[in-house]
Structure 1
């Protein structure tokens, strides 16, 4: 008896359930910015905590909405507001994110791959927060 998933589109339903069980009991304050690492090349390289935070977030600030939307769709987390946050608008977009945080929303910040850091959009946002 095989327990392998069928070949085709991967389903992350079990991973989302595991993420809720593993990370759900932790405290995730409202009105907070969450910096979330995304996979570099392989969808399976996401952590359970990252999945949980992306599911919990009210909005997602991202380097390129055209890249992040399919990523979230693959995990079954599409439909959340995406906030474009890139090198050409980061200062202005940061103010919009801060307004959401002040309103009590949880905002996840992602880059196209890896962890938002000094060389990626997100550094100004983190500093502003």
Structure 2
């Protein structure tokens, strides 16, 4: 980024705390946890699943019905990714057939704070 009059590099420095090196190595970029998180949140279905689970815990079929257009396979993949990232908890109930419920973890609920701030920023920008 250039140090033009945009002030963007300075805001990034203030937010992140350090300037990026002149050249960012591809391996460093790929290894960055922020890169992983932004990619995960940019997935077509992740935000919708997070917002549905923010309301309350859901069973798989209930999520599938509420997320119009998502395939069972994609919902499974999305939930597994969120579970692997520690954002969603999967609870199996000892019933016949076994019941499975998905809910946000404490870390998943923490993520709702910056997501809400981002949503507010988008809405305010559209109103301007």
**Structure of higher CA gyration radius:** 2
TM-score, normalising length: structure 1: 0.29
TM-score, normalising length: structure 2: 0.29
